[in-house]
Amino acid sequence: MSISDHKQKLYLLLILVVTALVIAIIQMNYRQPEPNLALEELRIRYAKVPKPPVDHSKFPELDRMFTTPQEVTEACISCHNERHNEVMESNHWNWERISYIEGRGIHALGKRNALNNYCISVAGNEVACAKCHTGFGLNSVEDFNFMDPTNVDCLSCHDNSEEYIKGSGSAGFPAEGVDLTAVAKSVGRPIISNCGTCHFYGGGGNNVKHGDLEEALYSADRELDVHMAVTGLNMSCVDCHTAENHQIKGKMYSVSSENVNRLFCEDCHTNTPHLSEMLNIHGARVSCQTCHIPTYAKENPTKLTWKWSDAGMLENGDPYEVDDSTGQHTYLSIKGSFEWGSDLVPEYVWFNGKAQHYLLGDKVDTTAGPVQVNKLLGSHEDPNSKIVPVKVHRGDQIFDTEYLTLIQPKLYGEAVGDSAYWQDFDWSTAAEAGMREVGLPYSGKHTFIETEMYWPINHMVAPATGALQCQDCHTRNDGRLQNLTGFYIPGRDRNHFLDSFGNWLILLTVFGVMIHGSLRIVTHIRSEKDLEMTHYKDFDDEEDQKI
């Protein structure tokens, strides 16, 4: 037998041998996919709870009776003899920072001159605002001595006893009955409650302002916040919001314009945190928060709208309130009407880290839609912009129809007749008093104008298993990014002309093929019939002829 007779068998053998070899090579080179080591390193690093090098309860300097909080600060400064200077350079202390603002140049910007969409502004209302804001004796920004270090409130950030409470309407002084000695002995690295006391309750209640910062973070589970989960890493605010010389990293864009000293997920996670290259590439234009914070206000509701124009309704001359079934105010005579929401899908915007703010005295373009209290800058054309999730707070505010400026009303007052709106319910006198306070004119004529404010969502990060999936954005209808247009997202966008061209092309091809095919079938059948009939006809004719 020659080789060619066995050719088929040889081929078969060759194929089998090659296949076996390929499988063997793949098997030998197979490695278990590596775990995400970067994430493991972070887990190990944050599993260790830092132990303070000193125990303040053992210092004799603190083992005494303190009658005023300033005495505590003096005791702090006696050892930490430069720290107060750092605090006094911070925006927590100054209520403003010097920024370069696009279109404005170098400008002081902060709560002194920027408005927000909730209680509008601090001017004239400091006594109430100082419940949170740093400093003792803050009766007004104008009169406050920003150079006096004894007014620095060290305890508000460093109390670890959770017993230090600032009084309501007491200009930044602690509430009555706080044991200053016990509190002073407890001091240490800030814990969640030091930040949370203020940042969770901004706007007058839990989760009112941010939507992603609230008291549920004191006892979060992994689903609520994967970083701060008490059953998980149990991280505190300052683990991420680190500070050098009391300049704390990461800032809110309600009062910040510049793209400096920001805090990024990438700072810990690098900008290639995924095992999947495809996901890492997305990091070029999509912020981590977009996919990893699919919803906010997960536990408790947040305030979504605030209509100041509804304020002032009274029952029998007295202010009243209306609550919804969950106990949230939906109407307050002193503030107006509100809408709340929980477990919300964020809105999405392009953001490059810079923002513009409505500052007291700015003229309003009444034709440009709602006033943008803090316009986040960025676009898909700007390579430094990323898509970020935001809570958009919508409302209306009192507005001077002659000078075209938003009005800073005086809200808080001690007694009736103080021209404070919350006492007198008279917009005109409140507006006049408030504008006098900030040194701006008031024409005497006012109305209400719609306003919008943006709150980037950065907290309440879900575990990876809860992150958005591809089709949440890559879909034709109702994707998460449906409202961000002008750029191409595969699966969402299409060239409509090209699509209809393609559909017609396929349709016409199928149609043409069907026509051609049926014609062939018809002519084929007819020709066979013709043949049959011709045969008989011929036969008959011959018969006829023969006959």
Interacting residues with another protein (CB under 8 A): 7-8, 270-272, 277-278, 280-281, 283-285, 383, 469-471, 474-476, 487-488, 490-495, 498-499, 501-502, 505-506, 509-510, 512-513, 516-517, 519-520, 523-524, 527
Cα(409)–Cα(120) distance, rounded to whole angstroms? Answer: 8
Residue where the block lists tokens 């980037």: 456
CB of 350 to another protein, least distance (A): 14
Nearer to another protein, 38 or 404 (CB): 38
The dihedral region occupied by 47, where left means phi > 0, alpha psi between -120 and 50, and beta the remainder, is alpha
CB of 267 to another protein, least distance (A): 13
Nearer to another protein, 219 or 384 (CB): 384
| Residue type at position 539 | F
Nearer to another protein, 7 or 537 (CB): 7
Phi, psi of 326 (to 5 degrees): -95, 5
What size, in residues, is the chain? 547
Cα(306)–Cα(285) distance, rounded to whole angstroms? Answer: 32
Q: Judge whether 136 and 172 are in contact, CB under 8 Å.
A: yes
User: Residue 429 burial (CB < 10 Å; 0-12/13-18/19+)?
Assistant: middle
CB of 264 to another protein, least distance (A): 13
Nearer to another protein, 260 or 513 (CB): 513
CB of 8 to another protein, least distance (A): 8
Please name which of 194, 271, 183, 200 lies closest in space to residue 236, comparing C-alpha atoms: 194
For the CA atoms of 42, 44, 50, 51, the dihedral, rounded to the nearest 10 degrees, stands at -170
Nearer to another protein, 145 or 523 (CB): 523
β-strands 302-307, 386-400 pairing? parallel
CB of 7 to another protein, least distance (A): 8
Strand positions, DSSP E, 43-158: 96-101, 105-110
CB of 339 to another protein, least distance (A): 34
- Tally of CB atoms within 10 A around 396: 20
Nearer to another protein, 45 or 494 (CB): 494
CB of 28 to another protein, least distance (A): 22
Nearer to another protein, 294 or 395 (CB): 294
Q: In the structure encoding, which two tokens stand for residue 462, read together?
A: 């879900």
